[in-house]
Structure 1
């Protein structure tokens, strides 16, 4: 599945239109964010996560989305189910992000 690029303007709409959502908050200057991008793409293409919307949000240009997810550091991942935050964490561990996504089942 393609990764959705979202901003403050359409973030709520993405949450409302998708039952299960995982968001990667990043910044252009964040090296770990760039290093995680191929892993995030691989997860988005993983059959196990077929019903999950994968979303990229630039934390620097989307302060409202950042506040809603409680972003504390980058990269930061947040999982939502039915528009409600399930869990959020600053991590660079692919396995941890996968476990977060599984909590939305």
Structure 2
């Protein structure tokens, strides 16, 4: 007598799960959009690329990171969000891996990761050491000021 009841309970539970799963997938699909970001964070892989970035852009924000650095990984999405922000459209966002470009990191005097450097007209204007989101935002605002 309990077997039909148990069987119907299991079937209705499976039905509820499949309905819920379908509606969740449909909600996720509806939220996705195909717009491209305004800007990107450029990965600098050679010394020549770095020199060209400084020469060709009025304001450059450089993120000096390492792949093994936890705080670097934590703040990276915030940097990408700022690069897509309209108020920072004139800032060239760049990243260098200090392990891949040791000559650039030595030239810049990198002591810790992450280190953010703001360059104006090819000259270093500001520096921020550490993963501090409010300070990073402040550094970017200094970059867009006249």
TM-score normalized with structure 1 length: 0.92
Q: CA deviation at 1:45?
A: 0.6
What SS is found at the alignment partner of 1:10? Answer: helix
Q: Give the aligned CA root-mean-square deviation in angstroms.
A: 1.2
Q: CA deviation at 1:35?
A: 1.0
Counterpart check, 1:6 vs 2:65? no
Deviations 1:27-56 (A, max 9, x none): 111111111111010010111111000101
Matched with 2:32 is none
Q: Which structure carries more strand by proportion? A: 1
Distance 2:55 2:107 in 1: 14
Runs of 4+ residues deviating >6 angstroms: none
Deviation at 1:87? 1.2
User: Which residues of structure 2 form unaligned runs of 5+?
Assistant: 1-38
**Corresponding residue number in structure 1 for 2:111:** 72
Number of residue pairs matched? 105
Q: Which has the higher helix share?
A: 2
CA shift, 1:88, in A, is 1.4
Larger Rg: 2
